[in-house]
Amino acid sequence: MKKLFQLSMALLCVIVFASCSSEDSVAGWADGNYTVRRVTNMVNLPPIFPFTPLNDEVRISIDAVADDYVDVTLPSTVYNFNGQEMKITAFVIENVPVLADGEKGVFFPKHNFRQENGKYVEGTISGEIDGDGDVELTVEYSYGSMPYSIKQEFESID
């Protein structure tokens, strides 16, 4: 009888773990690499420093780390500020919460993050990936000791 119980428990564990694969989790729906249009702008920049928003095509990576959490990897950004080339290295926003939003869609509620990625980064991320895989994310952050914030909007390319 004890062996039958142990076999039953082992079978139950296999069934439970198989049904909890990352593809079935909310985070699993978002998992992947996305080619998107990125618009980069400066926030709180004094008017004496004109800045033309950057508009480029990039790839972002979203990795499921738990059923309801993802890591979002943003690519590096190179821009001209007051005649000088500036570079922000690629960085990962870790443990971003996600919620189900309709048929296999994922909603990123506004999430504050604060972390060290070679330089101190602090900001917010929000957006969604709809059931068709179309991405709309907004990330606003301060990088290092910059006196202004950077706002990047990511949207799927049609």
Give Cα separations from 82 to 25, 47, 119 (angstroms): 45, 12, 22
| pLDDT, tens digit, 9 for 90 and up, residues 123-146 | 999 999 998 899 999 999 998 888
| pLDDT, tens digit, 9 for 90 and up, residues 3-12 | 444 444 444 3
As a whole number of angstroms, the distance between CA 93 and CA 123 comes to 10
CATH T-level fold of 24-156: Lipocalin (2.40.128)
Looking at residue 123, its pLDDT comes to: 95
| Arithmetic mean of pLDDT, 63-83 | 92
3-state secondary structure of 59: strand
Whether pLDDT at 120 is above 90: no
Mean pLDDT of the residues in the chain: 83
Q: Do 77 and 54 contact (CB within 8 A), yes or no?
A: yes
Pick from 124, 25, 133, 119: nearest CA to 70: 25
Residue 13 binned pLDDT confidence (cut-offs 50, 70, 90) = very low
**Predicted TM-score (pTM) above 0.75:** yes
Q: Do 138 and 127 contact (CB within 8 A), yes or no?
A: yes
Residue 1 binned pLDDT confidence (cut-offs 50, 70, 90) = low
Which carries the bigger pLDDT value, residue 45 or residue 71? 71
Which residues, in sequence order, are CB contacts of 46 under 8 Å at separation 6+?
none
Please give the angle made by the CA atoms of 53, 127 and 134, to the nearest 5 degrees. Answer: 90
